Structure 1
Amino acid sequence: MSVITAAPCETLRAAYKAAKAALIQRFQTASNVEPLMHALARATDDALKGAWAACEVPDSAALVAVGGYGRGELAPYSDVDILVLLPDAAPQSDITVLNGHVERFIGMAWDLGLDIGSSVRSVAQCIAEAGNDITVQTSLLEAQRICGDAPLFQRFSKRYHETLGPRAFFQAKVLEMRQRHAKFQDTPYSLEPNIKESPGGLRDLQLILWIARVAGFGSNWRELDTRGLITEREARELRRNEGFLKALRARLHVIAKRRQDILVFDLQTSLAESFGFEATAAKRASEQLMRRYYWAAKAVTQLATILIQNIEAQLFPSTSGITRVINGRFVEKQGMLEIARDDVFERELHAILEAFLLYEQTRGVKGFSARTLRAIYNACDLMDRDWRRDPENRRLFMEILKQPEGITHAFRLMNQTSVLGRYLLNFRRIVGQMQHDLYHVYTVDQHILMVLRNLRRFAIAEHAHEYPFCSQLMGNFERPWVLYVAALFHDIAKGRGGDHSTLGMVDARRFCREHDIGQENAELIVWLVQQHLTMSQVAQKQDTSDPGVIKQFASIVRTERRLTALYLLTVADIRGTSPKVWNNWKGKLLEDLFRATQAVLGGAEPDTHSELKSRQEAALALLRLKTVPEHAQKRLWDQLDVGYFLRHDPADIAWQTRVLYRHVESGEPIVRARPSPIGAALQVLVYVKDRPDLFAGICAYFDKNGLSVLDARVTKTRHGYALDNFLVAHPDHDGSYRDIANLVEQQLTALLRDERILPEPSKGRVSRLVRTFPITPRVDLRPDDRGQYYILSVSANDRQGLLYSIARVLAQHRIGVQAARVNTLGERVEDVFLIDGKSLSNNRTQIQVATELLRAIAA
C-alpha cells in the first residue's frame, strides 16, 4: 500500500469544500451532467483517502465505495455509501485496535462535510448480509476499492459474484420494483414526483443495468444494444432521458442546497429557469419543465418494460414460447399479446388499434409483449393524418370504447405507448399538462383516464358496493360508451386559454362527426362536455332547498337521460381530482339534487306546501318509532318557518325535535353532537337564545379545536332562538367521531354560556402548495332573486381559521348568517353564505363589509 501523507481535518475539509464548490459553479453553465458526477466522486475519493491516512487505518482493512458512489457517480448532495472491509481471520486484539481506527475515520468523514452511509463488515458478513437482503446485495454489486488492502477486496469481489444467481436476482428486483411503483400509485404523473424512485425515474434505469450486469448481458446501454436486447434507437433514447433525469436531479440538489429528490412545487420554477425555460402567456416555466419530465418518465417506463421482458425471455427461455395463435397478425405468448412478425404494423396499419381491441377481447392476455411494444414504439411515424382519418381505424377506436371489459386498461396502455395521443392530437397536447388549481393532484391526461376508470367501475358488478346508487344508474343506462367519450373530452381543452368546456365542445362535436355517431348520442356527448361543471356548482354553491333552484336546473337538463349522464360524469369527475376532495357530504348533495330534479322532470311541480307536509309526516313517523309523545313536536315546530323544514331532511328534523321538544324555552344553551349519518363527520346541534355574534363564536370554537365546517344550516325561531346545525370534520381524524362527541358538547356549552368579546382569528399557516400557487381572493355580495336575503360568495386559499375570520367580520357588522355552504376543493375554498342585516341596505356598508372580508381572507 502506498503511503498517503496525513493532513489535518481542517485542511482536508477546506480542500474538499473548495473542489466541490468549483465543480458546482462550472456545472451552472454546462449541458452535460456526467463530468460533474464523476468529478464529485473523484473529489470524494481524495477526501476519504486523506482521512483514511490521517486516521492511520491499518493496511489489513480496505475502504470500498458502494451504491451510486461505487458507480463513480455522485449528485451534488448525495449520500456517500462506503463499506469498511475487515479481514475474516484476525486476533481479537487486532480487531479491537482496527475498530478504533475505523471509528475515528468515520467520524472524520462526517467532519469533512460528507453525508456518510457506512457499514463495517468482514467478507463473510458481507456475503451473509447480501444473501438476506436484496438491497445490500444490490449495493455491493457496484463496489469499487478506494484504498486499503487490494487482495482483501479481490477476495470479497470473487466470493460475492460467485453467490449471485441471475434468475433469483431478476425476480427479487422486479418484485422490489413493483412494490416501489405501488407506493407511487403506479404512475409517473404525480404533480410532485420523486426523480429517483417514482415509476419512470432513475431507479428504473439503474435496476435494468443491475439485472443485465448480473445476467452477464452488459453494464451499459451500448452493450445491451450489441447483445440485441434493445435497438440502437432505443439505446439512444434511454441515454438521452437518463442524462436529462440526472441533470434534473443534480440541479435540484444545487438549488435546494441539500439532498432533494422530490420535485416539490416550491423549487419547480427555479429549476425550470436553470434549464433555460421561460414563462409565456400560456404556460409557466415550471409547467414546461414538468411536461418535459413527464415525457421522459413516460419513455423510460415504456422502454424499461420492453427491456425487462427481453431480459426475462433470455433468463427463462422455457417459458417464452407461443401459447396460442389468435389470428394471422397476433399470437399469445405466456399471457402477452405478440405480433406474428416484426413488420405487421408497417404492412397493416389497422393492426395498431386492433392490438388494443384484442387486448380487451382475448381472455388470458394481460399485456403486450416486448416485441409488440417495440413495434408500436417504432411505428409512431406511421400514425399520421391519413391513419387517423382511415374509416377502419375510426371503427376500431369506437369498438375499443364499446367493449364490455378492459376499457380502462386499454386506454392506459394506449396513453403509455403514445397511441392515444397520436390518434387524438388534442389529447397529445395535454399529456403531462399540469393543473395549478390547488384542486387536481394529477396531470390532465391522468385525470381524464381516472374519470374514465371511475365510470367503468360504476359498470362493474364487483365494485357495486363502492357507490351503489351510481352502479344502479349505470346498470340501466343504455350505451354507456357515450359517457366514456364525454369523459375523454371533458377536460381535453385545458391549458389552451379560454373556457375549456366551450373549447372541448368543439373537439367533441368534431369527433362525433368523424366517427359517425348518431345525432342523439352526439348531442348528449357535446352537452355533457359543455355542462360537466354545472351540477357540482349547483349542488355545492346554491340553496337546493329552494324549489326555484331545482326548477332552473331542471330547465338546463331537460331529460332524465341527460340528468343521469351528468350525475354519473360529475361523481366520476370529482372523485378523479384528488383523494381529499370527495366526501360523503358532497355525495349526498349531488344525490339530493339528482332526486329532486328527477321528480320535476317526471312531472312533479315544485310545491313548497306539499314538500313541507311530506317532510313533516316522514319526521313524525320517525318520532313515533322513538316513542316521542303524540303532538310533542308542536311547541317547537310552531316556532320554525318553512325554510327550516325545506333545508333539513326528515331524519335530521326528527333527531333535532327529539332533542329539543322539552326545551323550547330553555334558558341554558343546548348542544348535542353525534357521528354524522352520512359518515366521516360530526353533526353538531346548537340551540340557544340568539345574539349577533353567535355564529362567529361557534366558528371560533371549531377553529380552535381544528374542526373544519363542511356545512352550516342556521335557523332563527319566531321567539328569538337560534337552531343551528353544523357538519364538521377533522383533517387527521380517520375513525369514529363518537369518541369526541361528548367533549364537543361539554366545551361548546361552556363557551356559549360566556358572552366575552370574540377572540382574534388565529393566523393559521397555509400549506406549501398554497404558498407556491396562491389564488386571488374574491368576495361577491349581491341580493338574491327575491330581495329577501343577500348571497355572499367567497373564494380563497384554505387555511385554519378562515371561516371564523369571515364570521367575525359579519358579526361585527351585526349581519346574520341564515345558511352557509362550505366547499373545500383541495387547497382552495369556495364558500357561499345566505346573510341578512339592516346594514346591508346601505351601499357604503356593503363596500366596507366586502373590503374587510377581502382583508380577512387574504391575511
Structure 2
Amino acid sequence: MAKIYRQKQVFDRKTFSTRLSALKEQYGPSDIRPALVDLFKEYYQQGFDEVRRRCETGANGKPLAMAQTFLTDEIILQLYTVTTSYIYTEKNRTSGERLSLVAIGGYGRMDMVPYSDVDLLFLLPYKQTPWGERVVEYILYMLWDIGFKVGHAVRTVNESIRLAREDLTIRTSLLESRHICADEELYEEFLTRYDKEVISGHEPEFVEEKLNERDTRHVKLGQARYVVEPNIKEGKGGLRDLQTLYWISKFIYGVHSVGEVVEKGIFSAGDYRQFQKAYNFLTTVRFHLHYVSERAEERISFGVQKILAERLGYADRAGLSGVERFMKHYFLTAKTVGDLTRIYCAYLEDKHKRKPRLRMPRFGLHKRKVGVFPVEGSRISLTTSKDLKDDPVNMIRIFHIAQQQDLDIHPRAMRRIRQNLTLVDRKLQKNVEANRLFMEILTFKDGPGFALRLMNEAGILGKFIPDFGRVVAQMQFDMYHVYTVDEHTIRAIELLSEVERGLLAEDHPLANDIVHKVLSREVLYVAVMLHDIAKGRKGDHSVLGEEVAKKLCPRMGLNAAQTETVAWLVRHHLDMTHVAFKRDLNDPKTISDFAQIIQSPERLRLLLVLTVVDIRAVGPKIWNGWKGQLLRELYYQAEEYLFGGHIETGNKYRIEAAKKDLQEELQDWTDEEFSAYSDRFYDSYWLALNLENQARNARLIALSDRIGEKLTINIHVDEFQSISELTIYAQDHPGLFARMTGAITISGASIQDAKIFTTKDGMALDTFWIQEPDGGIFKDKHKLARLKSTIERTLAGEILPRKELEALRNRPRAIDAFTVEPRVLIDNMASNRYTVVELNGLDRPGFLHMLSQALVDLKLSIGSAHVATFGERAVTVFFICDLFGHKVHNEAKLQKIREKLMEALLAGTKKTAGKKKTVKKTVVKKSTVKKVRKPRESVK
C-alpha cells in the first residue's frame, strides 16, 4: 500500500500490540474474546474518528480512501494474527492448511469510504480444513461484532477461477483483488492462473460485457446525467463510470492505475489530470455524504445538498446560492467523467470488442470521405487537428455532417475537438457560415437532440454560444425542476421537434395542430433554446434573457422582425403559464389583459407551443391533462379576442348556445322542466363546463330533487383523462368549500381542478377533479368509498378537518430540505369585479383548506380560486369580494387580510412571523383548483 499520511494517528501498531499483550496475560484463548472485541472496537473507532477529522478539515478523496483502507487492513491483519497465533494455534500445519486473506471489490482497489462493505476472499489451496474453518469463522464473527459489514467468500483457487470465468461480477471483483495477509504464495498462484485462464484471450469479451453492463446501469438509473438528485456511485457520470475505466485497463493491459494508460496513448497527460481531479472530487463528496447520512448513502438528495455545500465551503454568490454552486461543480465533474469514459470506452470498444465472424463486404464504403472527414463504418472521424486549425468552421461542420448523414462521431474526433476548443473564438462565433450550419443543426427536421447533445458533451455548444455555456450544469435547488438548465433546454428542443413531427399529437392536440401554422420555424426553435439562457444571473431571467436574445439572434442570421419576436417570447415565456394556472379564465378582464400582452395570433401560436414544451421538459411527472386543458381554454379565448370577438358580447352568445345544446341532450325533459332548471344557475355556470358535465349534473340534480336528498355525492372515473370527477350537490352554507377541500385531503386525494357553483335557490353544486398524489387515477373502490364517507361525516360535523389535517401535518414527512418564503400579494387592478390575492407558501396537506378557511373567518366571498404547485412551492390565487359583492378597498381590511393569510401560510411549518427557521417539505400535490361563483351570496 502507498504511504499513509501520519498513519500512526489512524492506527498505532505499537500501542495496539502493547495492549494486546496485556490482554493475553490476563485472559486465555477461551475467554479473551469479549476483551478482544472491545479492544478492536476502540482502535477502529479511534481510526474512524481520525479519518473523519481529516475529511472535515479539508482532506480530499484519495488520501481519505487510502487512510480508510489502511485502517481496515490493520484491523484484519491484527485479527488474523491473534486468531492464528493465540486462539487456534497449529504447530505443524499440513500443506492443505493454508489460507490467504484477499481484499476484493472496492476494498481491493483501496477505494474504501466510511460505511463501505468489507469484501473479503478467504482463499484456500484445496478443500476447506477444520483448522481453516475455525479460523475463518472466528475472524468473521469478530468483524461482525466490531461493526463491519462484511461481504465474504471462502473458495479454493480452482473454485475462484471457475466462477470468474462464469460470472462477470465475480470476474470483476477478483480482478481488483489485493493481498492483505497470510499465505502470499497461494495468492500469487491464484494471480498467475487468473491471468492465464481468465484474462488471456478473453479481452474483447470482457470489454463488451462491461460496456453492456454500464449501459444497463445507466438505463436503470435514468439516462440523464443531469438529474438534480444524482447517484454519486452508480449514476451516469459517477464513480462507477470511472471504475469501469480501471477494470478495463487492468483486464487488458494489466495496469495498477488508470494513470498507466497514458503510456498506451489512450489518455493524454491532460486527460489523466482530469480523471484524477474528478475522482478526488467525487470521492471527497462521497466521504462527506456518508458522514452526513451516517450510513452507506449514495444519492445526493435534496436533504443533504445544502449540508454538503456548507461542509465543502461553497458560499452564496450573486444569482447563485451556495448549494447551486456546489451542484453545478458536481454536474460539470459528471460531464468530465462522461467525456473521459466516452473517449476511453469507445476507443477500447473499437480496438478490442469482439467482431462478427462473418463480415459482409462494404463495396468501397469502408474508407469513404465527406469533405476532410473520413467515415469509418457508422462514425465520422477526423484525421488530424490541422483540419480544425486550418478551418475552424469544421468545429461546427463535423456535427452538421454527422446529423445530416445519421452518423456518430468517432471518439478520436471528439477528443481532438475537446483539445481545440480555443479555436471557438469571437471570430468563429460571428462567422456567417458557422452560424448557418448551427441553425440547420438546431432546426433539423428529423430531430436535433442527438447532435446538440454531442455538441454539449464536446463543449462546443457552450463555447459557440457563451451565454449557453453559463447555464451548462446549472441546477435550481427546488423540487420542481428535475434537470439542469442545459439538459432541460435540450429536452425542450427535442420535444418541439416531436410536436412538429406529430409524435405527440395525442398528448398535445392543439400544439400539434398549430405548430405548422407558425410563420417561422427558426423563431420557435431559437426561442426554445434561449428561453432560460439567463438563469443563474442576478435578476429576472426573462428580462435578462430578452437582452441576450436581442444580441444573439442577428448573429445567428435572424432578421430584425424575427429577432424582435424571439426576444418577446423569451421575455414572456412564463406569461401563459401564469395566466392559465393562476387566473380566472371566465373573467373577461383576464382574457383582455392577456390578449393585450400577446397582441397577435402568431405570437399566441408561438407562445402556446413554447409553453407546452417548456412544461413537459421540466420533468417526467410535471405535465398532466388538466394543465393542457387550461392552456387550451386560454388559447381559444385569447384567439377569439384577437380575431375581433368582444369577450363580454361573445359570452352572451356562448351562454345561449350552451343552454340550447344541453336542452337538445335532455330530450326527455319538457320545455317547462328545462326552463325551470336553467333559471336556477348564474351565467358563470354555462361558461365553465362542457356539455358532458352539464348533462351529468342535470340528471344528478333532477334525481336528488326527486328523492329529496340533502346531500348527493357522485364519482365518475375518466380513464381517458386519467382522472376522477367528484360532484357534490348540497345545501349551501358558510365554510362549505373549505370543509369539502379538507375532507378530500383527509381521504388521500389530490385536487387537480375544482369548479364550484351556487344556485339561485341556495344549493351548492361543486365538482372536483381528483387524482392520487403521484398522478395516478383515484379509482380504488375502497378509497372511493372512504372518500364518500369522509365527505358525509365532515359535512355532518363528525369530522373536523382542522384537527385531522393538523395530525397529517405532524407526521414525519419528506426531507427537511426546503424553505419557501411566504408571500401575500393583493391586487385590485387585475380584475374588474374582484380583489385578487396571490399567496405563495410551502405545499403541505390541507394547504387550500387552511387558506380558504381563513377567508371564511374574514367573512369574505370567494369568486374563484386557483392552486398550482411547483415542486415544494404552492401558489394560490383567490378572487374575492365582500359580502355585498364589492372589491375590498379599505386599507385596514386589506391589512387584516394580509395578516390572517400570512398566519395560514405559516401554520403547520416551522417558520414563524419575524423569525426564519427551517421549513419542512411536505408531500407534493400538483393541483390547479378553480372556484367560480356569484358574488352577493352566502360565503362558503
Closer, same or farther: CA 733–276 of 1 in aligned 2, 3 Å = closer
Letter in 1 for 2:868: N
Partner of 2:102: 64
Determine the structure 1 residue equivalent to 2:639: 598
1:390 aligned residue:
431
Instruction: Provide the C-alpha distance between the structure 1 equivalents of 2:839 and 2:764, rounded to a whole number of angstroms.
Output: 24
* Residues 249/738 of structure 1: CA separation in 2 closer, same or farther (3 Å cut): closer
Q: Identify which of 208, 220, 238 aligns with 2:245.
A: 208
Give 1:99 shift.
Answer: 3.9
Q: What is the 5 A alignment of 1:714-753?
A: 714-732=756-774, 734-735=776-777, 737=779, 739=781, 740-753=783-796
1:798 aligns with 2:843: yes
Correspondent of 2:734 among 692, 715, 727? 692
Contact 2:100 2:123 in 1 (8 A): yes
1:402 Cα deviation from its structure 2 partner: 3.1
Match of 2:151 in 1: 117
Find the aligned partners of 2:762 and 2:318 in 1 and give their Cα distance.
55
Do residues 636 (structure 1) and 663 (structure 2) align?
A: no
Separation of aligned partners in 1, 2:751 and 2:442 = 41
Q: Which of 324, 344, 350 is the matching residue for 1:287?
A: 324
**Alpha-carbon distance, 1:167 to partner:** 1.3
Tell me the CA shift for residue 414 of structure 1: 1.1
Q: Identify the range of structure 1 (837-846 vs 506-515) with the bigger mean alpha-carbon deviation.
A: 837-846
Residue in structure 2 matched with residue 163 of structure 1 by the alignment: 198
* RMSD of aligned Cα (Å): 2.7
Q: How does 1:357-506 map to 2 (within 5 A)?
A: 357-363=400-406, 365=407, 367-506=408-547
Aligned to 2:917: none
Secondary structure of the residue aligned to 1:651 is helix
**Code of the aligned partner of 2:871:** G
Counterpart residue type for residue 674 of structure 1: H
**CA separation of 1:453/1:406 partners in 2, compared to 1, >3 Å: closer, same or farther?**
closer
Residue 757 of structure 1: how far off its partner (Å): 5.7
Identity score, percent: 30
**For residue 10 of structure 1, what is the aligned residue in structure 2?**
38
Distance 1:744 1:17, change over 3 A: closer
Query: Aligned partners of 2:550, 2:811: CA distance in 1, in Å?
Result: 42
Q: Which residue of 2 aligns with 1:771?
A: 816
Say if 2:138 is the partner of 1:89.
Answer: no
One-letter amino acid matched to 1:227: K
Residue identity matched to 1:148: A
Contact 2:747-2:787 within 8 A present in 1 as well = no
Letter in 1 for 2:906: A
Q: 1:668·1:753 contact (CA, 8 Å) conserved in 2?
A: no
Offset of residue 361 of structure 1: 0.4
The question of whether the paired residues in 2 share the 8 Å contact of 1:669 and 1:752 is answered with: no
Following TM superposition, by how much is the alpha carbon of 1:373 offset from its aligned partner in structure 2, in angstroms? 0.4
Contact 1:578 1:826 in 2 (8 A): no
Compared CA separation, residues 35 and 189, structure 1 to 2 (3 A): same
CA offset at residue 707 of structure 1?
1.4
Asked if structure 2 preserves the Cα contact closer than 8 Å seen for 1:692 and 1:815, the reply is no
> Structure 1 residue aligned with 2:343, among 300, 306, 320?
306
* Secondary structure, counterpart of 2:824 in structure 1: strand
- SS for the counterpart of 1:580 is coil
The offset of 1:176, in angstroms, is 1.0
Question: Separation in 2 of the partners of 1:615 and 1:715?
Answer: 16
Following TM superposition, by how much is the alpha carbon of 1:464 offset from its aligned partner in structure 2, in angstroms? 3.5
Moved more, 538-547 or 581-590: 538-547
1:101 positional shift: 4.2
The partner residue of 1:824 within 866, 869, 873 is: 869
Residue number in structure 1 paired with 2:298: 261
Larger mean CA deviation between 104-113 and 468-477 belongs to: 468-477
User: How far does residue 542 in structure 1 lie from its aligned partner after superposition?
Assistant: 1.1
SS at match of 2:222: coil
Question: Is residue 65 of structure 2 the alignment partner of residue 23 of structure 1?
Answer: no
Residue 274 of structure 1 corresponds to: 311
Q: Which moved more, 1:704-713 or 1:424-433?
A: 704-713
Q: CA deviation at 1:629?
A: 6.1
The 1-side partners of 2:186 and 2:415 are apart by 45
Measured after TM superposition, the shift of residue 324 of structure 1 is 4.5
How many residue pairs align between the two structures? 849
Matched, 1:49 2:77: yes
TM-score (norm 1): 0.93
> Residue in 2 aligned with 1:706?
748
Closer, same or farther: CA 759–227 of 1 in aligned 2, 3 Å:
closer
Match for 1:534 among 568, 572, 575?
575
Matched with 2:857 is 812
User: Is 2:377 aligned against 1:334?
Assistant: yes
Displacement of 1:336: 1.2
Whole-Å separation in 2 of the counterparts to 1:743 and 1:784: 43
- Select 1:75's aligned residue among 113, 121, 129: 113
Q: Distance in 2 between matches of 1:152 and 1:632?
A: 98
Deviations 1:817-843 (A, max 9, x none): 343222111221111223344396765
Q: Give 3-state SS (helix, strand or coil) of 1:838's partner.
A: coil
Q: Which range moved further: 757-766 or 810-819?
A: 757-766
Query: What is the distance in 2 between the residues matched to 1:579 and 1:81?
Result: 38
Question: Contact 1:675–1:738 (CA<8 Å) still a contact in 2?
Answer: no
Query: Following TM superposition, by how much is the alpha carbon of 1:733 offset from its aligned partner in structure 2, in angstroms?
Result: 6.1
Shift of 1:388: 1.0
Deviates most, 596-605 or 578-587: 596-605
- The separation in 2 between residues aligned to 1:99 and 1:475, in whole angstroms, is 76
CA distance 1:101–1:593, shift in 2 (3 Å)? same
Question: Letter of the aligned partner of 2:223 in structure 1?
Answer: D
Amino acid at match of 1:46: E
Alignment-derived partner of residue 63 in structure 2: 35
Q: Say which SS state the counterpart of residue 381 (structure 2) adopts.
A: strand
What whole-Å deviation, never above 9, does each CA across 1:231-278 have from its counterpart, x for those lacking one? 222122222222222222223333433323222233333323333332
The counterpart of 2:274, out of the listed 211, 234, 237, is: 237
Out of 78-87 and 712-721, give the one that drifted further.
78-87
- Shift of the 742–276 alpha-carbon distance from structure 1 to 2, 3 Å rule, reads closer
1:681 is matched with: 723
Displacement of 1:44 in angstroms is 0.7
State the SS of the aligned residue for 1:829: strand
Using the TM superposition, give the Cα deviation of residue 574 of structure 1 relative to its aligned residue in structure 2, in angstroms: 0.9
User: C-alpha displacement at 1:807, in angstroms?
Assistant: 2.5
Q: Kindly provide the amino acid, as one letter, of the partner of residue 458 in structure 2.
A: T
> Which range moves more in the overlay, 495-504 or 783-792?
783-792
* Preserved CA contact (<8 Å) 2:368 2:375: yes
Structure 2 distance, partners of 1:623, 1:160, is 83
Query: Structure 2, unaligned stretches of length 5 or more?
Result: 1-16, 25-31, 91-96, 908-940
2:938 equivalent to 1:852: no
The secondary structure found in structure 2 opposite 1:662 is helix
- Give the match's secondary structure for 2:703: coil
Q: Which runs of 5+ in 1 are unaligned?
A: none
How many angstroms does 1:667 deviate by? 4.4
* Structure 2 counterpart of 1:609, from 633, 637, 652: 652
Structure-2 residue corresponding to 1:146? 180
Deviation at 1:770, TM superposition (A): 7.5
What is the SS of the residue equivalent to 2:704?
coil
CA distance 1:765–1:181, change in 2 (3 Å) = farther
Normalising by structure 2, report the TM-score: 0.85
- Quick one: which amino acid aligns to residue 827 of structure 1? E
Aligned match of 2:5: none
CA contact (8 A) 1:713 1:818 kept: no
Q: Is the 8 A contact 2:659 2:678 kept in 1?
A: no
Residue pair 2:449, 2:494 contacting (<8 A) in 1 also: yes
Identify the range of structure 1 (669-678 vs 385-394) with the bigger mean alpha-carbon deviation: 669-678
Q: 2:230 & 2:243 partners in 1: Cα distance?
A: 17
